[in-house]
Structure 1
Amino acid sequence: MHPSQNLKPEWVDIIRKAAPEAEQAGKLQPSQLELIYEQGWFKFLAPKAYSGLQLDLPQMVRLEESLAWANGSLGWVVTLCAGAAWFGGFLDAGFAADIMTNPQLCFAGSGASTGTATITGDGYTINGTWKYASGAHHATHITANCIIKNGDETVLNNDGQPLILPFVFDKKDVRVFPAWKYVGMMATGSDAYEVKDLYVDKNRCFKIDPEYTVTDALLYRYPFLQLAEATLAANLSGLAVHFLDLCGPAFDERMRNPRLTDPQKEYIKQLLAEQTILLNEIRAEFYETVDNSWTRFESADDNGLDQVSVISRKLAKISRDSVDKLYTYCGLSAANPDTEINQVWRDMHTAGQHSLLTF
């Protein structure tokens, strides 16, 4: 199935029409955000109890691939912010009910453990700086991992390692500052943020563990690792499909070049056909694997989680390789940063650097 089948054409028009301005501004634009709020896309994984969509994983990854196909930055921001809203299944129920019913709810944050949380009475005092918070500029809340401290001593977990726990902060208590200076994903606004001497109640802290799930649903028992791997791979797949779509017109333009021989023209056409087949085959395998892991997760000894990790990396690699094999034949316009095909190429080579799917 082509990713376009999951989106209304008018949605794609809104997303893509605002894309150039979003790139210049370094963040999503009001028309794009209005559509996201209207459709509840930031709440893909938020519990239904808090007005979230609480989508099953198979449905969610298909929608995220489609949004990445429509625009890489928007798809990435939705994926990461919706992924952070998944934490709602582990938050204190009273606290979650207070903040997550907001129709413009948006969680942003970082998985890096570059902050500290010092035990202070019934709460914690937070200090730290974190990078790469996609969607931070329109977030209502920011999440962060912190090393737990008791005075000057680091608290250890049962394995003797530093205890690291995630927290949720109000956006007003966080300073976001410019730090995203990369060639692609320019509209994600993935800037850095800082917290200084911020006291938070203990209900702002949570544990990502099925044992501590507050919302009783399969979505919050499914492991976060495979959920993250699948959603990021789907984004790279969506970008690759978009790039291959744009190769058609680019190749048609090249065909008018009188210096190209007939065998060269045939080679280019055949290469596009081959890469399209290859990408669609691995996409089909990816979705079959994700679907199986979801249905078998709690009912079979072999729950398919290892296969999700493998196929996510395989899809990411083939997506990157297909784009690179075709880029050479797209003409000089593909190197022009003002063109859509170049934007997709830059987004692929930026998103493709994510450490979770590099190897």
Structure 2
Amino acid sequence: MIIPERIVEEIRQSAVNRANEGMLSPAALDFMYEEKLFKLFVPKELNGRMLPLPEALRVFERASWADGSFGWLVTIGSGGGFFSATLPPEQSKLLFGHDKAVVAGSGHANGIARPVQGGYVVDGQWKYCSGSTYASLFTANCKIEDGSGKNAVIRSFAFLPEQVEIIRDWNAFGLKATESHSIRVTEAFVPVERTFDIMSDPHYDDPIFRYPFLPFAQTSFAAVCLGICRHFLEEARAFATAKLADGTNVRPQHPQRMEKLIRTLGEKETGLQAVADELYETVERTWTEFIKQGSMEDRMEIEIDEICRRLSIDALAYAHAIFPLLGMPVLMEDHALNRIWRDLHTVTQHSVLVHGRD
């Protein structure tokens, strides 16, 4: 995917402006709608792009290279397209068919659903719902209250924006513009046709809808890590080059430090490219096998788990090796390198990259 230079500049300039750091710019959001970046896994019958996983990962990487929050929102928003294949077909057309369809929500079963005539009444609260303020649909898991006292059945629910209260509590030190706030529903009626079982057979035949969740999440977030780390290394190289070119008011030790920085950058850029090549080779090979076999073998999931977690660890290690060589300016929170460094730390904290199959 090619992101026009004007959009990259718009996204990055918006992040520089601390007053707007908590949200995407309108131009960036419009670009996401125009390019259907929230609909990478929505069937073409529903006005989606329906990309193969390896191609989608390169979109995630490029978007994250432009900006961490932008890339994260593309990645998470695209993942919501899975529900277009599990909701009843008529609901899928209604909820996913329009140009600005985007899902926010949570996979945790933090809600309670009480059966009533025609559907359920739901109460619950869920954290970390990225893209919450502009979502056209919210999804969340709930336990069905049946009064038996036995293990509750868990089912997924789709809520309309007017049913959802957004609790603006996303105060993380990175990915600030993802608006990953908590949501709450109170006595919300959900008709049975807006509920679904994510383990049910999909209504569409694309292989992505049968792809296991954990490797899907791991590869997606690894691509985000890769894009952010590439941006960090590029920005650090530009920083060092500018410092070396500026011969005024330079302390004697600064040229040596910048030269060491450039040498270290070369090493880390080579290392990042090597692990990136391995990620894409693994994904493309296992994706081909998955399509051919119709299922994913355990050995394939192990391979994916290992490369995704290693990429996350390596990307963070490369940033740690570079950051101390940058000096005092990057300690300021409004410095681009500081912001990218925080975004990388936030992504690599996700449980699917930290714990994986453990």
TM-score of the superposed pair, with normalisation by structure 2: 0.91
1:229 paired residue among 218, 232, 236 = 218
1:191 paired residue among 181, 187, 206 = 181
1:47–1:53 Cα contact (<8 Å) kept: yes
Question: Which amino acid is 2:193 matched to?
Answer: N
**Matching residue of 1:299:** 292
* Residue 81, structure 1, aligned to residue 74, structure 2: no
2:128–2:182 Cα contact (<8 Å) kept: yes
Question: Which amino acid is 2:94 matched to?
Answer: D
| SS across alignment from 1:297 | helix
CA, structure 1 residues 323+193, in 2 after alignment: closer, same or farther (shift >3 Å)? same
1:15–1:32 Cα contact (<8 Å) kept: yes
**Distance (whole Å) between structure 2 residues aligned to residue 326 and residue 25 of structure 1:** 24
CA, structure 1 residues 312+344, in 2 after alignment: closer, same or farther (shift >3 Å)? same
1:279 paired residue among 272, 275, 286 = 272
1:91–1:204 Cα contact (<8 Å) kept: yes
1:215 paired residue among 201, 204, 209 = 204
**Distance (whole Å) between structure 1 residues aligned to residue 128 and residue 260 of structure 2:** 41
**Matching residue of 1:238:** 227
1:180 paired residue among 164, 170, 181 = 170
**Distance (whole Å) between structure 1 residues aligned to residue 220 and residue 201 of structure 2:** 23
2:14–2:20 Cα contact (<8 Å) kept: no
**Distance (whole Å) between structure 2 residues aligned to residue 326 and residue 7 of structure 1:** 27
2:41–2:81 Cα contact (<8 Å) kept: yes
**Matching residue of 2:351:** 355
Unmatched segments (≥5 aa) in structure 2: none
**Distance (whole Å) between structure 2 residues aligned to residue 155 and residue 194 of structure 1:** 25
2:36 paired residue among 32, 37, 40 = 40
Measure how far apart 1:289 and its partner are: 0.7
CA, structure 1 residues 133+261, in 2 after alignment: closer, same or farther (shift >3 Å)? closer
CA, structure 1 residues 40+298, in 2 after alignment: closer, same or farther (shift >3 Å)? closer
- Per-residue CA deviation, residues 56-110 of structure 1 (Å, 9 max, x unaligned), is 1001010001001101111111111111122111110011111111101110111
CA, structure 1 residues 108+321, in 2 after alignment: closer, same or farther (shift >3 Å)? same
**Matching residue of 1:138:** 134
**Distance (whole Å) between structure 2 residues aligned to residue 170 and residue 319 of structure 1:** 38
Question: Which amino acid is 1:115 matched to?
Answer: G
Measure how far apart 1:22 and its partner are: 7.4
Measure how far apart 1:180 and its partner are: 0.7
1:254–1:330 Cα contact (<8 Å) kept: no
1:56–1:219 Cα contact (<8 Å) kept: yes
| SS across alignment from 1:323 | helix
Measure how far apart 1:321 and its partner are: 1.0
CA, structure 1 residues 122+226, in 2 after alignment: closer, same or farther (shift >3 Å)? same
How many residue pairs get aligned? The number is 348
CA, structure 1 residues 264+34, in 2 after alignment: closer, same or farther (shift >3 Å)? closer
1:47–1:86 Cα contact (<8 Å) kept: no
**Matching residue of 1:125:** 121
1:164 paired residue among 142, 147, 154 = 154
Measure how far apart 1:168 and its partner are: 1.0
Measure how far apart 1:254 and its partner are: 4.9
**Distance (whole Å) between structure 1 residues aligned to residue 234 and residue 157 of structure 2:** 41
Give the RMSD, CA atoms, in angstroms: 2.0
Measure how far apart 1:51 and its partner are: 0.7
Unmatched segments (≥5 aa) in structure 1: 157-161
* Residue 327, structure 1, aligned to residue 323, structure 2: yes
**Distance (whole Å) between structure 1 residues aligned to residue 209 and residue 183 of structure 2:** 27
CA, structure 1 residues 260+229, in 2 after alignment: closer, same or farther (shift >3 Å)? same
Question: Which amino acid is 2:227 matched to?
Answer: G
**Distance (whole Å) between structure 2 residues aligned to residue 85 and residue 173 of structure 1:** 21
Question: Which amino acid is 2:219 matched to?
Answer: A
**Distance (whole Å) between structure 2 residues aligned to residue 61 and residue 183 of structure 1:** 25
1:115–1:128 Cα contact (<8 Å) kept: yes
Measure how far apart 1:182 and its partner are: 1.4
Question: Which amino acid is 2:190 matched to?
Answer: V
CA, structure 1 residues 154+9, in 2 after alignment: closer, same or farther (shift >3 Å)? farther
- Per-residue CA deviation, residues 145-175 of structure 1 (Å, 9 max, x unaligned), is 111221x34564xxxxx42222111011100
**Matching residue of 1:51:** 47
Measure how far apart 1:122 and its partner are: 3.2
Question: Which amino acid is 1:204 matched to?
Answer: R
The 10-residue stretch of structure 1 (211-220 or 38-47) with the greater mean CA deviation from structure 2: 211-220
2:257–2:325 Cα contact (<8 Å) kept: no
Question: Which amino acid is 1:328 matched to?
Answer: P
Q: Identity over aligned residues, as a percent?
A: 30
